[in-house]
Amino acid sequence: MKKTLFTFIIAVTLGLAVFLTIKSLSEPCLAPGELPGLFIHEPEVPEYDPASFARRRQEIMDQLGPTPLLVSATAANDFYYLTGFDEYQGVAVLLPGDPKPFRMFVTPRNPADAMWTGERHGTEGAMKKFGADTAYVMNDLAEILPRRLSGDEKIFLHSRDTRLREILEGWQRETGQTLTFQEADSLIHEQRVIKDAWEIAQLEQAVAVTGKAHSWIMKTMAPGQREYEVQADIEYIFGKNGMTPGFASIVGSGPNATILHHIRNDRKINDGELLLVDIGAASRGRYTADITRTYPVNGQFTPEQRTIYDLVYQASETGLEKMKPGFKMLDCNHAANRVLVQGLYELGLIPDTTVWWQKRFYIQHRVNHYIGLSVHDVGDYGFDPAQRDEHILTPEIRGRDLEPGMVMTMEPGLYLQKNRLDYLVELFGHLATPEELDAFAKQVRPVYEKYAGIGVRIEDNVLITENGNKVLSGYLPKTSEEIEAAMRR
C-alpha cells in the first residue's frame, strides 16, 4: 500500500515537472509587462517624411497654374497633408512659380508656453523641419500676406474659419484690388485619394497594430466580460505600439452587433453570442486602419450565426474580385450585395429580389470607403451625392474608375435587428402599400425570428495595385473555420 502511494507521488511529481518544462519552453522570454508577439518595438516607417510632403506640394502647385493657394491650419487634415505641421495654428502659402514657393505663417516660440506645453516649432522649425522656404509669425499675417499676393486676381483659399478671408477683404477695400476666392477642397481631396508610398507604409503599420489587437482579443475574450474590457485590451495594444484609436472603437455583443456604430460598449457579453469588433489604430503619421471581425464569444458559431457569417464572407470574397483596375468604384459593392441578396432569398428572407425596398431592408450600407487620414477618407467616389440612397442597390450607378494607390475597405454586413419587422411602415411606407408590407412581414417572420439578433460585419483594408489588389488585413483569420481555429485555446 505504502509502495503504491510512493509510486503514485513520484509519478505525479515527474508528470508535473515534465509539464512545467514543456510549458516554459513554449513561452518566449518576456520583458516585464510584455505580451507575446503584440508589440512593434521599433516603428518600421518614419512618422514624418519630408520628401513625401514636398512632393505633394509640388504636385498640387503643378495643378494650380499661376494661382496661389492658402491653406489654414483650421483645414485640419488638408493642412497637415500639405505641410506635416502638427500645431493647431498656422497658414501655408503656396506660390507656384515663385523662387520661394512654400511659405508659412506660424505661432512664434514663447518661453511661457514652452514652460507649460513644450516648445513650438516656431519660424525656425517651420523652415528647418517642415521645409518652408520662408516663415513668418502669425501676427504679421495681415501685413505681409497681401504683399505676397499683390497682382494676383484669383486665389485658392482653404480655411474653416473666416479670419484669412477677412484680412484679405480688408486689404481689398483699402487698396481697391480685386481678388476672387476659389475653393481648394476638391483639388486637395482628389490628391488625397491616391496614396503615396509613405502613406501606404503608414497604413500598413496601422493595419499591423490593429491586427495585433484582433489577434489578442481572439485569444482572451470570454463570456462574462464587459464590452469595455475588450475595448480596453484593444486600446492597450494600440497604445503600447505608440498608436491611438483612429475612431471610436465598436465592440458590440449579442444584439449590439446589429447596431452599425455601437460605441457605448458597456454591455455584459454572454456565452453563445457574437461579438462584432470594428477597430482601427491610427499610426503616428495619423493614418488609420479600419478592420472588423465578428467572433463567436465562446469560440464556436451556432448554425444560425454560421449561416449569416458565411454569407457575409462570400460577399466579401466576391466583392474583392472587383477591386482591381478595370472595374469601377461601385462594382465591388454591387457584386458583394448581389451575393447577400441571393443568399437572403435562398433563406426565405427576401421573397422578391426585384423589389428594391425588400433588399434595402437588409442592405444598410455600401461596402467600401476610402481610408487614410480620416477613417472615412475624403475624395470623390464618382457618383452624385444626391443618390446617397439609390447607389447602394443600383448596379447602373458604378462610380469612378478604380486606380492603383487607392486604399479602401471591403466591408459587407448583415444586421438582423430584433423587432425590425415591426417598423416596416416607418421605413418603407412611402414605397409600398400597407398590404404589401404586411404580406412581406407575414411571409418572412418565421425565418427572420430564427436569425433575429444576429449582426455580422467583416471588414478588410485593400490597396488597389497596378494589376489587382493587396488585402492589407488579409493575413487575419477570416472564414468561420479560421476564426474558430484561431480562438481555440
- Binding region for Mn ion (CB under 5 A): 278, 290, 409, 411, 459
Q: Are 458 and 292 in contact (CB under 8 A)?
A: yes
Q: Mark out the alpha helices in 269-423 (DSSP H runs).
A: 303-320, 331-347, 356-360
Binding at 331: pick from Mn ion, ligand GLY, none (beta carbon under 5-8 Å per type): none
Measured distance CA(284)–CA(374) in Å, rounded: 13
CB-based closest residue to ligand GLY: 278
| DSSP H or E run through 175 | helix 163-175
Contact call for residue 247 and ligand GLY (CB under 6 A): yes
What is the smallest separation between the CB atom of 236 and ligand GLY, expressed in angstroms?
A: 19
Question: Quick one: 92 or 281, whose CB is closer to ligand GLY?
Answer: 281
Distance CA 359, CA 370 (A): 25
Residue closer to Mn ion by CB (options 72, 461) is 461
430, 435, 440, 442 alpha-carbon torsion, rounded to 10°: 140
**Rounded to whole angstroms, how far apart are CA atoms 45 and 50?**
13
Biggest CA-to-CA distance, the chain: 113
> 363 vs 437, which CB is nearer to ligand GLY?
363
Q: Please report, for residues 2, 34, 225, 295, 485, the alpha-carbon distance to residue 222 in angstroms, rounded to integers and kept in the order given.
A: 44, 21, 6, 11, 16
Residue nearest to Mn ion (CB): 278
Q: How many residues bind ligand GLY (CB under 6 A)?
A: 6
Q: How far is the CB of 278 from ligand GLY (least distance, A)?
A: 5
Residue 377 interacts with, from ligand GLY, Mn ion, none (CB under 5-8 Å by kind): none
- Judged by CB under 6 A, the residue of 204, 229, 235, 278 near ligand GLY is 278
Q: What is the DSSP string of 416-443?
A: --TTGGGGHHHHHTTTS-HHHHHHHHHH
Comparing CB distances to ligand GLY, the nearer of 56 and 286 is 286
Tell the smallest beta-carbon distance from residue 276 to Mn ion (Å): 10
| CB of residue 62 to ligand GLY, shortest distance in Å | 33
Q: How far is the CB of 455 from ligand GLY (least distance, A)?
A: 13
Give the H/E segment covering residue 281. Answer: strand 281-282
Q: What mask of x and - would describe binding to ligand GLY in positions 357 to 386, judged by CB under 6 A?
A: ------------------x-----------
What x/- string results for residues 459 through 488 when contact with ligand GLY is judged by CB under 6 A? Answer: x-----------------------------
Q: Provide the H-helix boundaries in 194-324.
A: 197-220, 227-240, 303-320
**Which DSSP symbol is given to 351?**
S
Residue type, 225: Q
Amino acid code (one letter) for 143 = E
Nearer to ligand GLY, 48 or 247 (CB): 247
Quote the least distance from Cβ 380 to ligand GLY, whole Å: 18
Nearer residue to Mn ion within complex by CB, 126 or 243: 243
Give 121 or 262: the residue with its C-beta nearer to ligand GLY.
262
Q: What are phi and psi of 54, to 5 degrees?
A: -65, -40
227 touches, from Mn ion, ligand GLY, none (C-beta below 5 to 8 Å by class)? none
- Give strand ranges (E) for 372-417: 407-410, 413-415
- From the list 290, 331, 377, 460, which residue makes contact with ligand GLY (rule: CB under 6 A)? 290
The number of CA neighbours under 13 Å toward the Cβ of 177 is 20
Binding mask 441-460 for ligand GLY (x = CB under 6 A): ------------------x-
Residue among 229 and 411 whose Cβ is closer to ligand GLY: 411
**Distance in angstroms (rounded) separating the CA atoms of residues 78 and 183:** 13
> Residue 247 binds which entry of Mn ion, ligand GLY, none, with Cβ cut-offs from 5 to 8 Å by kind?
ligand GLY
- Interface residue list for ligand GLY (CB under 6 A): 247, 278, 290, 375, 411, 459
